[in-house]
Structure formats: C-alpha cells, structure tokens
Amino acid sequence: MSADLHATSAYGNTYRIYVELDAGDRLDAVYGSSANGLVLGGNGLYHTPSFGVDMASTLNPALIAVFTSLAYDSWVTIGLEDQTGNVLAQQGVNFSNFGDEVTTDNGSWYITPDDAQGEEVGGRVLIAQLTISGGGSEADLYGNLNFQGKLADGSNWGATDQWLPAPGALALLGLAGIAGRRRRRA
C-alpha cells in the first residue's frame, strides 16, 4: 500500500491510499474477517457527517461545488473517486466511527470481477481518501487491511494483514526520529 498527499486545505492534509499491483492485475475486495480484522483510520481523521459520504460510490461530484468540504471528505472505494460509473458495494463494514476509523471483522467493500474500476492503472488501485485535520502527516494514517482480486492470467490472489504505514516505513520513521534527535544534540 501507499499513501500520496492529494490536497492541503483548511480541513487538513488529504491523502489517497492505493494498493500496489502488477500490470494486468485487479482488485475486487477490501475485507476484514474474524481471523484478519480490518481497520483503517487516522489520528485526527476528518469526516463530514452532514453532507459527507462513507463510500465514493455515493459521492455526487456536482455537490462539491455547493458543499466544497466534500472534496476533502474521507471515504473508501475501489478505483473511482465519485459515483460516476462506480458500482462499489459493501456488506458488514462499520462506518459509524468514520470520524476515527473504519472497522470490520466480518465485512467488505467490493466490486464484481467484471467491473473495470478494479483494474490497476499505473500499477495501483485507489482504495480510500483520508483527510487528517490540522495538517497531520502520512505518519498519522494507520490501517491493517486484507485484499482479494485477480491476476492478469485470471487466477485469484489474496493478501492479508497489509499494514499502513508498512512496517518498513514505521522503522524508517523511527530512524528519522533518532537521527533528528542526534542532529539536535550535536
């Protein structure tokens, strides 16, 4: 997984979360199970409950001109950023705490294997947009997600316990903190 800074606004820093895939592969589901729970969130997560959406498949892009905060809302998806052509569905995902995080141990957001929106573009597929209030950084994002899809040859693939940030990134952040402390002491 990767997180890219998408926008900076009065609401905070908005990140787009992607699953990295090989050419020709696709993503069909993001899920949690009793053996491999799902959590996705951020410290200081921004979500607009009055006009906001939980899933990009319900975001009408025409409303962004009226309710500009919608451009920075936090939502989940597979591949698309609004309702245009978006057939994303969900079952059993708890969005009630989306101001903090999305969780499930028996649910998924998904598309069917014949929906084009799950195909990789440039080696990745968009799965979420998260805004961290107050200018938080990518280090404020967290998650443990599971994925299912198809390889270019049509066979199934799956990945469990995929961390955001990746454990290697956490180690690098920790090393950066140590290096930063050492520089300040010198």
Q: Is-contact 7 130, C-beta < 8 A? A: no
pLDDT range class, residue 148, cuts 50, 70, 90: very high
Q: Write the CB contacts of 113 (distance below 8 Å, at least 6 apart in sequence).
A: 26, 28, 150
**pLDDT above 90 (res 170):** no
Average predicted confidence (pLDDT) for the chain: 87
Based on the number of CB atoms within 10 Å of its own CB, is 186 exposed (0-12), middle (13-18) or buried (19 or more)? exposed
Confidence (pTM): 0.87
pLDDT tens, residue by residue, 37-66:
999 998 888 876 677 899 999 999 999 999
* pLDDT tens digit sequence for 5-41: 999 998 889 999 999 999 999 999 999 999 999 999 9
What are the DSSP calls for 24-49, one per residue?
Answer: T-EEEEEEE-SSS-EEEEETTEE--T
**Separation between Cα atoms, residue 112 and residue 9, nearest integer Å:** 34
Half-sphere exposure of 100 (CA within 13 A, CB side): 4
Residue with tokens 């994303």: 88
**13 SS3 class:** strand
Q: Kindly list the distances between the CA atom of residue 99 and the CA atoms of 42, 75, 119, in Å, as whole numbers in the listed order.
A: 9, 11, 29
| Beta-sheet pairing, 26-32 with 89-91 | unpaired
Question: Between the CA of residue 154 and those of 20, 123, 150, 157, what are the distances in Å?
Answer: 18, 17, 6, 9
Over residues 75-90, the mean pLDDT reads 97
Which amino acid is it at 45? L
